[in-house]
Chains A and B, each alone.
Chain A
Amino acid sequence: MLEAGLCSYVMISYGQSGRSGDSMMQVLAALSGDDVVYGHFGAAGGYALAARRAMHEFRTGPKTWKQIAVGQRKWANLNPRAMMCGRAMTGEDYDRSPLVVEPFRLADNCLVTDGGRACIVTTLERARDLRHPPVVLMGLGMHHPSADLAGARYLAGPTGARRAGATALRMAGITLDDVDACEIYDCFTYTVEITLQDYGFFGPGEGEDWFRGGTIEPGGRMPVNTSGGQLSESYQMGLTPLTEGVMQLMGRCGERQLGPATGNRTPEIILCSDNGGILQSHACYILGRG
């Protein structure tokens, strides 16, 4: 629409008062439908089913997920806007976190927050005249492999991330080696693992080793969810990864800005994801410095 000249600016926005109101509970109640008769509520139960199946099919579990939760919390502690800023999490803290829906502990769950986000899209020509450096959409892929949980036979992968990721990389004309950082939709720790696994960063069951040693943390070789993400910054649906990817490429992230200060490369290309239902729908998009 922008390139055709039908409009000049598109705003992608999201806002909710999930923490102070009941809007998130309403969303989750609608998601569960008649499954509530079995005591199955919201997203935690559905993703717990996915995570448990993954534990059955390949080597994964709390040892892998702990590294995601702890790693993202380190980013949140560099982000004054993050809900969990100032609240460090150690591996022991994760282990002591109460079970919610097993195999998930509280620390595996994203936050419920009040807040809002917006991102404005326009033509590259117009963006070049604006105050901040432009960020371009290099590639996009989507795949929606099932309509509901009952139809999902792939909860341990490959999820929609496999095809969506390959499509986005092809459109961008790059490989994973060109990616400087990832902003991954992280409703639960397992979502981060299965998404990166399906994109091809590591093979099934290799996540525990891949994450080890602070891979995704400040100074790590593949920074992931550099705002703290939905686990530790704020849950704003797909806007959490989107706005962070854009802000990092613009160089507007303050103390957590990827670059010499965090011990990371200054990013040229950031891979982002979005995800819906219980792994029913997936979008992968690749952002680049314009």
Chain B
Amino acid sequence: MTYGKPLPKIYADAREFREGCLEHELRIQKCGGCGHLRWPPAFLCPRCLSRDTQWVRASGRGTVYSYAVYHVAFDEAFKGDLPYVVALVALEEGPHLLTNLVECDPGAVSCDMAVEVVWDDVTESVSLPRFRPAAG
């Protein structure tokens, strides 16, 4: 069955992130100049403007900074998922990542709850990091 939902655009800054996803590794950027860990990816550091960019593996653990429960499908492809949860997850390394919360009743989500990454291989070439309540 074909995947009917939008797929991420391919752009150079995020290539390392997308490749990491395929290996089920959550990769974020680290500035080689000041050490700042950042998301979204960019070719220079928003803190010190250094172009020295490294990639590091994030643990995949974090907390919910905030969440929103969709009751309307702005794209027909998401209709079957309603109601679904979009969240800003604060990774324990610092950056905030927009994602979905899954394996959880929308009514049971709360800000600051602990979550962990779960990988969704949506096509052969795209894997998306979503999050679920942390075990134990």
Contacts and interface: CB of A to CB of B under 8 A. Distances in A.
B8 A101 contact: no
Interface of A: 33-42, 45, 48-50, 52-53, 56, 98-103, 147-153, 155
Given A33-B9, A49-B68, A100-B72, 20 more contacts: A36-B6, A37-B6, A38-B100, A39-B73, A39-B75, A40-B86, A41-B74, A42-B74, A49-B67, A52-B68, A56-B66, A56-B110, A99-B69, A99-B71, A101-B70, A102-B69, A102-B106, A103-B68, A103-B69, A155-B65
Contacts of B128: 37-38
B78 A149 contact: no
B39 to A, nearest CB: 5
B46 interface: yes
B83 interface: yes
B99 interface: yes
Contacts, number: 95
Across the A-B interface, give the 10 residue pairs with the lowest CB-CB distance, nearest first: A48-B68, A56-B111, A41-B74, A102-B69, A53-B66, A99-B71, A39-B78, A49-B66, A36-B6, A150-B96
Contacts of A147: 46
A52 B64 CA distance: 11
A150 B68 contact: no
Given A56-B111, A150-B40, A37 B7 contact: yes
Contacts of B98: 35, 38, 40, 149-150
A36 B75 contact: yes
